[in-house]
Amino acid sequence: MQIQDLSLSNRALGLLSLSHCHMNSSFAPVHRLSIPGFKLCSKFGFCSSVKRVSTPFGGLRRYGGLVMVSCGVSTNDARDEGRDDGFYVRRCVELARKAIGCTSPNPMVGCVIVKDGKIVGEGFHPKAGQPHAEVFALRDAGDLAENATAYVSLEPCNHYGRTPPCTEALIKAKVKKVVIGMVDPNPIVASSGVDKLRRAGIDVIAGVEEELCKKLNEAYIHQMLTGKPFVTLRYSLSVNGHLLNQLGEGATEFGGYYSKLLQEYDAIIVSSSFIDKYLVPTSQEPGANQPLCVITAVSHSSPIQIPSVGEEAASKLIIFTDKETTVEPVTAQKGIETVVLDGIHLNEILEYCKRRGLYSVLLDLRGSFDELEGLLSNCIEHNMLQKVMVEVLPLWDESNSKSSFVALKSVQKRLKVNNLQPRISHQSIILEGYF
């Protein structure tokens, strides 16, 4: 096994102050919500009970221009007595996650219609430009929506965009109550949906399972509140704290943590030295929208070479380079955009992403650390990082490279990581926290 010889000072996390992190000495199993269900197929994001099955909830599947949905609907003959509002909002979040990577710049939203203690309709927002979760759930419920309770993970919209307001759909359906996970931070919504429903005589409760709903759309919320994309730093470490250039077993395969990560993010930043040696990072999840790959090239003596890619893949590539770096002429012929700057800073890249409507960016420390050093130093000094993800591989690396985090000792700032959580991915441990 070949390991890139990069070392990390201060026991790998010297830049990060890990006080007040929530970690357990053992890894408790994750308890997943399990609801008896029915199999269904829909063109878009609504659920209808057709046939009872015992298989787990499915996800998005694409056939031609249609989006097929397979999810579980609790429409048992027995009433769901004893289940509180939180139960149904958690179900909304579960539904919403079926559209991971498909809704940006819109948020992911799920909706459940409950009447007389039974779920009579479900739906989620499958893609930007298509109807919202409430519309699909109300269609699924039909006439049963009258005098029912609608649960939705995010405040219903109250404005005309590419789709009509969801508040009007709920009022027209004559629901008697709406339970909301969180208020929409979008300034054009911002409680106006709640106010309109209440003026129509509908009972409204907001803030149920609010933290769960916020985590579902953390990039969208950050963009709405700051006007900037949500940035996550990812890197790999050996067990003795050296920076590695590789991923763990199964990480890039279907269902692997890295494959899922690429599905979640709108853009990924990598160094040109990484692209020179490896393929463009690609999610293996079915129907995944591949992230824009931002390639940074700094002070190269030889032209940057991009692997052979198709026309569609080329449209998902962009090169940011300084004036001292040259790009091979064939790159332009492939349709790959190149941006030449005096110096490469994260601000310029994030502004570009913002103009393209990209809300989440993954900064992946692979390839030559020297190329990403300026970006990392810049984003640390200016508080541009929101999240960190570290993969600790079951490897011991005794290499002695000078290219490591020690190069950042000039950065006079320590970052505190909050809510650090561990999980296991095959033989690796994944640490995830927030700045």
Active site residues: 134
Number of C-beta neighbours around residue 182 at 10 A: 23
Residues 6+ apart with CB under 8 A from 172: none
Task: Please state, in angstroms and rounded to a whole number, the distance separating the CA atoms of residues 388 and 78.
Answer: 44
Task: Please state, in angstroms and rounded to a whole number, the distance separating the CA atoms of residues 30 and 79.
Answer: 27
User: Is 403:6 a contact under the CB 8 Å cutoff?
Assistant: yes
Residue 114: φ, ψ to 5°: -125, 130
Strand 60-63, strand 66-69: pairing: antiparallel
Number of C-beta neighbours around residue 218 at 10 A: 16
Task: Please state, in angstroms and rounded to a whole number, the distance separating the CA atoms of residues 301 and 273.
Answer: 12
User: Is 89:209 a contact under the CB 8 Å cutoff?
Assistant: yes
Nearest alpha-carbon partner for 129 in 95, 91, 161, 155? 161
Task: Please state, in angstroms and rounded to a whole number, the distance separating the CA atoms of residues 223 and 242.
Answer: 33
